[in-house]
Structure 1
Amino acid sequence: MSTVSDELIEQLKELDTPTVCNALESVVPQRRGYGYTTDPLVCTRPELGSMVGYARTACIRAMHPSDVRGEAARDLQHGYYSYIDDGPKPAIIVIQDLDGEGRGYGSFWGEVNSNIHNGLGCVGLITDGSVRDIPDIAEGFQMLADRIGPSHAFVHTVSYGGGINVAGMRVSSGDLIHADQHGAVVIPNDKAHEVPDAAAAIARRERVIINAAQEEGFNFERLKQAWGDAAEVH
């Protein structure tokens, strides 16, 4: 599994997720149409800004009790937390709720699990299920979820480590994820180093247009000029 430098992760954290998506359109043009969340998610702590980390994937259900019992259930639980602990850091947990239209029926996420995962090197969570205990979530732990709910119901882990789809974003274990209040995107590891420079170039071009738009007397002719000027910025 390839990883990127801590320095690059810090650089990526300085960007918001829409900017990363824009940069990826330049670096990997075919990624314009996929690789990011397309369904809305609730961000519980937008003030935390962006999080960047390696995906740890899992699937859950909560509407009905698990068919796995006893030692087998314990082995599944231990295997999941061992998988989280053994992966590259920082990590972002990405969990698909398999309850279909009933997803979010019960929450895997609250005060206890956020603290456990935070202690195991995870900076946050992305799920199409629910979260709860919002005031008591581990300090600095970000959560993007389909909804907020009150109960854990019969929540249980079904599997972990496989490919999943959360809110329209396909994720494999170990993928590099960038997320903030807008949603999340998978960054190809081998292209991640190109994202900061691509983002900076886009920002320079956008600044030309924004500055023009804020001028007194701005009109369509000035906009056309600004478009042309921006195209010359690299």
Structure 2
Amino acid sequence: MKQTLLDLLRSVDTPTVCNAIEVAQGKRGFNAFTRGTMLCSDPDAKPIVGYARTAKIAAVNPPTESPEVIRERRMDYYRHMATGTGPAVTVVEDLDYPDCIGAYWGEINTTVHKGFGISGALTNGVMRDLGDLPDDFPVVAGSIGPSHGFVHVREIGTPVSIFGLEVQNGDLVHADRHGALVIPPEVVDQLEQAILKLLETEKLILAPARAAGFDFEAFEAAWAAFEASRT
């Protein structure tokens, strides 16, 4: 990914990227995004942008495998998170959803992942230690809770599902307080120009609407220019 595109993606919210993907595709109907309301540990943080490093966890019940197997898989998990193409985002599916109890994302785990150079975490599971999480490592999660339960890693690098969004290991993800999406590979080369075009197009309606004396006639003229710019 070009640095200019990465910088741009980090400067705009996820709804803007969602719209820009449709600009790049030349049609409506893009649907690779989360459904429902998610929670963000730091709503004012910059968006999470990166290539997905996926895993699955569970926490309601104790693991049935031996402690040695669980420890080895946990280390394999951290090795997976610490290596690979960057920028990166951790995407973890909690298999207990919708009855998740295990807050995998607390002060220690977020600090470790930030140390690995990861830009943030996306999960349908639980986060905790709000107020103690490191700066510049937002977590977009399904819920907040106090306990880690019997949290343990089940799978590493496999496809995951987060609030209806299917994510493959290595997918390019954009996430913020609105939720998350996967950027289709075929639009990456066009996405920078699509975002810039979208921002310029929106000014045609936003600038008049924010100006003094805005009325229906001004709206009608602005909307006509806005519509013409999108065709």
Q: Same fold (TM over 0.5)?
A: yes
Q: Does 1:106 align with 2:92?
A: no
Aligned residues: 230
Q: Give the CA deviation at 1:34.
A: 1.2
For the 8 Å contact 2:6–2:49, the answer to whether it is kept is yes
Per the alignment, residue 195 of structure 1 pairs with 191
Per the alignment, residue 60 of structure 1 pairs with 57
Per the alignment, residue 203 of structure 2 pairs with 207
Q: Does 1:85 align with 2:82?
A: yes
Q: TM-score, normalised by structure 2?
A: 0.92
For the 8 Å contact 1:201–1:233, the answer to whether it is kept is no
* Change beyond 3 A, Cα 1:214–1:86: closer
**In 1, Cα distance between equivalents of 2:84 and 2:37:** 28
**In 2, Cα distance between equivalents of 1:131 and 1:21:** 25
For the 8 Å contact 1:17–1:183, the answer to whether it is kept is yes
Per the alignment, residue 122 of structure 2 pairs with 126
Question: How do 1:219-230 and structure 2 match up within 5 A?
Answer: 219-230=215-226
Q: Give the CA deviation at 1:50.
A: 1.4
Q: Give the CA deviation at 1:161.
A: 0.6
For the 8 Å contact 1:24–1:32, the answer to whether it is kept is no
Amino acid at match of 1:182: H
Per the alignment, residue 133 of structure 2 pairs with 137
Question: How do 1:7-86 and structure 2 match up within 5 A?
Answer: 7-29=4-26, 32-86=29-83
Amino acid at match of 2:89: I
Q: Give the CA deviation at 1:120.
A: 1.3
Q: Give the CA deviation at 1:29.
A: 4.9
For the 8 Å contact 1:204–1:233, the answer to whether it is kept is no
**In 2, Cα distance between equivalents of 1:214 and 1:121:** 40
For the 8 Å contact 1:177–1:185, the answer to whether it is kept is yes
Deviates more, 1:193-202 or 1:144-153: 193-202
* Change beyond 3 A, Cα 1:149–1:30: farther
The structure whose residues are more often helix, as a share, is 1
* Change beyond 3 A, Cα 1:30–1:86: farther
* Change beyond 3 A, Cα 1:218–1:8: closer
Q: Give the CA deviation at 1:216.
A: 4.5
* Percent of paired sites with the same residue: 37
Q: Give the CA deviation at 1:31.
A: 6.9
Q: Give the CA deviation at 1:44.
A: 1.0
**In 2, Cα distance between equivalents of 1:31 and 1:91:** 28
* Change beyond 3 A, Cα 1:109–1:7: same
Q: Give the CA deviation at 1:154.
A: 0.5
1:24-65 Cα shifts (integer Å, max 9, x gaps): 111125673411111211111122121211101111111000
CA RMSD of aligned residues (A): 1.8
Q: TM-score, normalised by structure 1?
A: 0.90
